Every structure is written in structure tokens, then in C-alpha cells.
Amino acid sequence: MKMELIQPFINSLDAVIAETMGCPAQIADVTMEEGNYKRTGIAALVGISGEIEGRVILDMDTVAAQQVSADLTGPASNPTEETARETVCELTNMVIGNAVTQLNNHGFKFRVHPPEIYSLDGGLQGALDTEAVVLRFETPKGAVYLNIAVRYKQRRSGEHAHVNVLCP
């Protein structure tokens, strides 16, 4: 996978975590995965279609998500798993939105779909020819995982049969 496609997501996660959680996020581990992705906490998935296509999953520890939710919506709110899911969805939306803004401003045209909760415990089937990069970020509030499986659409032509990465 091209680094130029991954870097905007790393930059964006770093900026969004700093702004919303008020703390730094440092990359603790990077792995490549070709198989299914198994979430560790609450995960949200955003699909991307157009000249760049694929999907990105943001996965966050449940307790950390509840804490971020409480921090952002005020002490009066009582964080539940539902609000934690909402928080992860919105954080995902912000991270992917900011990243695709950078990519789009470099001339790539594509569409971002609304985030959806990724609730499968058995993992997500990836595309045949697109491995995922999984980055683990450490923050003072817990680990955040970013699973990125994106590619240039043109590259796929004639190489493999179409596999819809967005449909688990």
C-alpha cells in the first residue's frame, strides 16, 4: 500500500485526538494484515469510493470511548455504551473526513460514506489484492487502532475479480 495514501490518515488521527481528547497519540505498532480484522473495543467503519477506494476502521477501547464522550459532552452526561459508540463513530468521521480532505485537495476525487458501527466479532473479509495496514496508537486514555485498506481504483483493473470490501 502506498505511503502517500496512509500518511494523511496518520496526520489526521493525530490532530483529531489532540483536539478532541487533549492528549498526544503516538504510534506504538504497525502491522500488515491480509486476513480478517478482529476489533478490540468499539469500532466504526467508513467506506470510500471513487478514484481511491476501500475502507478504514477506527477501533477504540470501550472505557476510553466512554471517557472521551464524557469529556466532550460535559460532566452532566452519563456515558453509556451507546454514547461510546456514537463517540467512536464521530471520531472516525472526523479522522477520515480530515484525511480525505487532504487527499482530495491533492487531486483525488472520491466519496466518503457515513460511518457505521463495525460489530462483527469474527472479522471482516478484505479485498483479495489489498492488504490492510493496522496502526496502534497509544494515548493516555487507551489504545486506538486504525485499520486502513485503501487503494487506487485504476490499479485493480484487470488484476482480480471484484470483491466488495464494504460488505462483511
Partner 1 sequence: MEFKPLTCEDQPKVRFLVVDDSVFARKNLCKMVQAFGGEVAGEAGDGCAAITEYASTHPDIVLMDITMPKMEGIEAVEHIVRDHPEARIVMVSSVGYQDNILSALQKGARHFVQKPVKPEALYEIIRYVLNDPVAQAPATVGEVQS
Binding site for partner 1 (CB under 8 A): 15-16, 19-20, 69, 72-74, 77, 83, 86-87, 89-90, 93-98, 100-102, 104-105, 112-114
Q: In this structure, what C-alpha cell is assigned to residue 78?
A: 452519563
Q: Measured from the CB atom, is 12 or 147 closer to partner 1?
A: 12
Q: Which is nearer to partner 1, 74 or 122 (CB)?
A: 74
- Which one, 91 or 126, has the nearer CB to partner 1? 91
In the complex, minimum distance from the CB of residue 160 to partner 1, in angstroms, rounded to a whole number: 29
| Residue nearer to partner 1 on the CB measure, 85 or 126 | 85
Q: Is the CB of residue 135 less than 8 Å from the CB of residue 27?
A: yes
For the CB of residue 127, give the shortest distance to partner 1 in the complex, in Å: 23
- Separation in Å, CA 63 to CA 35, 59, 83, 139: 27, 12, 11, 13
In whole angstroms, the minimum distance from the beta carbon of 41 to partner 1 comes to 16
What are the residue ranges of helices labelled H in the chain?
Answer: 3-21, 62-73, 81-105, 153-156
CA distance 115 to 112: 9
DSSP 3-state percent helix, strand, coil across the chain (nearest 5): 35, 30, 35
d(CA 35, CA 33): 6
Helices and strands (H and E) in the chain: how many: 4, 7
Nearest distance in Å: CB 131, partner 1: 26
Quote the least distance from Cβ 45 to partner 1, whole Å. 14
Q: Considering beta carbons, is residue 115 or 126 the nearer one to partner 1?
A: 115
